[in-house]
Amino acid sequence: MLAKRLYSTITSAKPVDGFIGAIGNTPLLRLKTLSQQTQCEILAKAEFMNPGGSVKDRAAYYVVKKAEESGQLKPGSGGTVVEGTAGNTGIGLAHVCRAKGYKCVIYMPNTQSQEKIDLLKMLGADVRPVPAVPYDNPDNYNHQAKRYAESLGENAVWTDQFDNWKANRQAHIETTGPEIWSQTEGKVDGFTCATGTGGTFAGVTRYLKEKSGGKVKAFIADPPGSVLYSYFKSGGKLTERQGSSITEGIGQGRITENLKPDVDLVDDALFIKDEDTIAMLYRLLDEEGLYIGASSALNVVAANEMAKILGPGHTIVTIISDGAYRYQSRLFSRKWLESKGLVDAIPKHLHKYIVL
């Protein structure tokens, strides 16, 4: 008799084509304690296992692929990809550009950490910090990125992750959604996650709703400082942003083009406080050995809430967008946690993890 397998079956033993070939097909993790407590299956898609370390590798690859298909970029001719972001999309794009031989130019607000600038430079990107001004100012980093790409003319593209919904959201319609459906064998009742560009939420929701004939419920999760919770709760009123959150990469002041085609698919919205996010982040480390970023911890809080709302016996899926590595100097620093008033939100027995 074969020994009981400790690890899940390897799905593909064949070699893949480098960085690009390693994007996607991430495992779906059962969170055991939360599942037991809610008597639901709480499953989290391990997007930190993408080769660039985040869910954004998928969108980065798709925006470049779409630019090649439309002729904006010519493979093998050293074109230029321009984006305005200091976050995971920039990192994903920098990797994809190296893998495909394109130049990568990243505009970002000059308020971003040196850590982020250095990482992008190490990945070969041409990093251009510009003054941090609001979106409606023509000197905002997004507009500068756009103008620069236009000034290059031929064989250059501004990837426009926020409003390039055809490619960003499409990555999740064609990959993340189908993976979740197949990994759960179609037994999925709820999906929830927070949104930055909205690509992940919209793409996965669109696919799961279509496959299930509308049965899968979709709850949008929202941090403080974002307007989506109040937008959906008020039946479509956009308000000013108020407050801020420790989460990075999520929260919105508007309905992005990624989200627009799918706003009618949102069944409900959940507001998740930073206190609950940080407590979950430490709890998942302790209970599951998972070292995840704050947006991911927020997503798991939302999945837990959704399980309580739908009741026992349901399967809820969410996203672990990235690991804690990019944020550890903050998330595990007592001083930083104190500055945010969050130390007491972490249960006492988990304070041993506050090591910085």
Q: Which residues are catalytic?
A: 56
Could you tell me the smallest distance in angstroms from the CB atom of residue 175 to ligand PMP?
Answer: 12
Give the span between the Cα atoms of 176 and 57, in whole angstroms.
12
CB closer to ligand PMP out of 56 and 314: 56
Cβ 61 to ligand PMP shortest distance, Å: 13
Site residues, ligand PMP (CB under 6 A): 54-56, 87-88, 195-201, 248-250, 293, 295, 321-322
Give the residue with the Cβ less far from ligand PMP, 79 or 92.
92
CA distances to 66, 147, 160, 167 from 125, rounded to whole Å, are 20, 18, 17, 21
Chain position whose Cβ is nearest to ligand PMP = 249
Strands (E), the chain: 28-30, 41-46, 80-84, 103-109, 126-130, 156-158, 190-194, 217-222, 268-271, 315-320
What CA–CA distance (Å, rounded) separates 203 from 189? 16
Which residue lies nearer to ligand PMP by CB, 38 or 161? 161
Q: Which residues contact 312 (CB under 8 A, 6 or more apart)?
A: 38, 39, 40
Nearest distance from residue 226's CB to ligand PMP, in Å?
A: 11
Minimum CB separation of residue 196 from ligand PMP in Å reads 3
Question: Which is nearer to ligand PMP, 102 or 201 (by Cβ)?
Answer: 201
Q: State the minimum distance, in angstroms, from the CB of residue 304 to ligand PMP.
A: 18
Q: Which residue has the tokens 């999925």?
A: 188
Instruction: For ligand PMP, give the closer residue by CB, 304 or 321.
Output: 321
- Measured N-to-C along each axis, helices 274-288 and 294-310 cross at an angle, to the nearest 10 degrees, of 90
The radius of gyration of the chain from alpha carbons, rounded to an integer in Å, stands at 20
Calculate the CA dihedral of residues 243, 246, 247, 251 and round it to 10 degrees: 10
Q: What is the DSSP letter of 154?
A: T
Nearby residues of 137 by Cβ (< 8 Å), 6 or more positions away: 143
